[in-house]
Amino acid sequence: MGSEVEVEARRLFSRLEHVGWSEEDCALIAPMTLEINKLKQEQDAVILAHSYQTPDIMYGVADHIGDSYGLSVLAQRLPQKKIIFCSVHFMGETAKILSPEKDVLVPKPAGCSLAESISPEDVRALRAQHPSAGVVAYVNTSAAVKAEADVCCTSANVVEVVAAMPQQDIIFIPDEYMGLNLRTLTQKNIILWQGRCIVHKEFSPETVAAVREQFPGVKILAHTECSPAVVARVDFAGSTSAMMNYIKDSSDEEFMLATECGLTDRIRTEFPQKHIVGSCGLCPYMKEIALKDILTALKAPTSEQIITIPEATLKRARRALDKMFALTAHTQHKKAKH
């Protein structure tokens, strides 16, 4: 048995040992995860963590782990009125747009190189240049940019959303590589913006080739934020959840993931029989968040931890997200039946 802290340390170790944490490391954080989990219950709060968070957050305090799309939809459905969204700021904003009546907090107001690459003025200028084009905003954008778009999309539904748009010309913002990938995956004329994910742009075709040579038979998966040259050479490209599902359903044992290291941590923890090779990338924005910030958000939240969006912006951004749900309703219905 042992003390409450010892029991908590053992619970943590049973998960974190898969990603190299020692029993001593787990004992050090156990008082804090205990305190967070107690406060969470007292306040009827729910903690959501994106798959790129650190393992102590994902397996120590999170109630749900997932991708940007799945977590925001879940936030809407959950009964709790307080949501601590452990991820970058735009994901907290998306949850707030979908659940304006709830208190949504982010432990740190962390940025994202894609979200920071474009402003609402940039979108208005693009529209003026291409008046007959539809505007599709990737979810990695601020609420103010979403408010300027016709529709939003995520990496989980981007192809479906773009293909379903009535216009042939599509302004796709802000991820240039995803836009280039869409030129191959859809019949649309994609007008690009020069945003890049600082993590995914670093993977190269040379890395893919080197890993294949070193590990014959390896299955290589990439996020669709990687360059077209990488996407063309991998076995599967998709969102973080789609990559998780691919590995879960695969009988193969050896994989390389061209994405952020949080996802490889998830695979090592949740599918310890699978073997991950090669390198992954660290997102400095996602990794800004630490357990102590979650504790502050629960005990005495600062104004920058509380998500607030001006009502007019929220309503316009909501329209773009609702259009995304409408365009993908058919697939969502099919998925729900299975």
> What are the phi and psi torsion angles at 18 (to 5°)?
-65, -20
Q: Is 67 in the site for ligand 13P (CB under 6 A)?
A: yes
Residue with tokens 């920058």: 304
**Minimum CB distance to ligand 13P smaller for 32 or for 278:** 278
The amino acid that residue 63 corresponds to is D
Separation CA 41–CA 149 (nearest Å): 38
Across 295-330, b (16+ Cβ under 10 Å) vs e yields bbbbeebeeebebebeeebbebbbbbbebbeebbee
Which of the choices ligand 13P, ligand SF4, none does residue 258 contact, using the CB cut-off of 5 to 8 A by kind? none
**Minimum CB distance to ligand 13P smaller for 198 or for 211:** 198
Hey, which bits of the chain come out as E strands?
A: 45-50, 64-66, 82-86, 103-105, 134-138, 151-153, 169-173, 189-191, 219-223, 236-238, 254-258, 275-276
Q: Is 69 in the site for ligand SF4 (CB under 6 A)?
A: no
State which H helix or E strand residue 131 sits in.
Answer: none
Q: Is 242 in the site for ligand SF4 (CB under 6 A)?
A: no
CA 290 to chain centre: 17
Among 140, 239, 240, 241, binds ligand SF4 (CB under 6 A): 140
> Cβ neighbours of residue 265 under 8 Å, at least 6 residues apart?
19, 54, 55, 58
What x/- string results for residues 197 through 236 when contact with ligand 13P is judged by CB under 6 A?
Answer: x-------------------------x-x-----------
What x/- string results for residues 295 through 324 when contact with ligand SF4 is judged by CB under 6 A?
Answer: ------------------------------
**Minimum CB distance to ligand 13P smaller for 168 or for 332:** 332
Q: Token pair of 195, please?
A: 């945003």
Which of the choices ligand 13P, ligand SF4, none does residue 170 contact, using the CB cut-off of 5 to 8 A by kind? none
Q: Token pair of 216, please?
A: 């014959």
**Minimum CB distance to ligand 13P smaller for 147 or for 197:** 197
Which of the choices ligand SF4, ligand 13P, none does residue 239 contact, using the CB cut-off of 5 to 8 A by kind? ligand 13P
Q: Given the rule CB under 6 A, which residues bind ligand 13P?
A: 67-69, 140, 154-155, 197, 223, 225, 239-240
Q: Given the rule CB under 6 A, which residues bind ligand SF4?
A: 88, 112-114, 140, 197-199, 225, 260, 283, 285-286
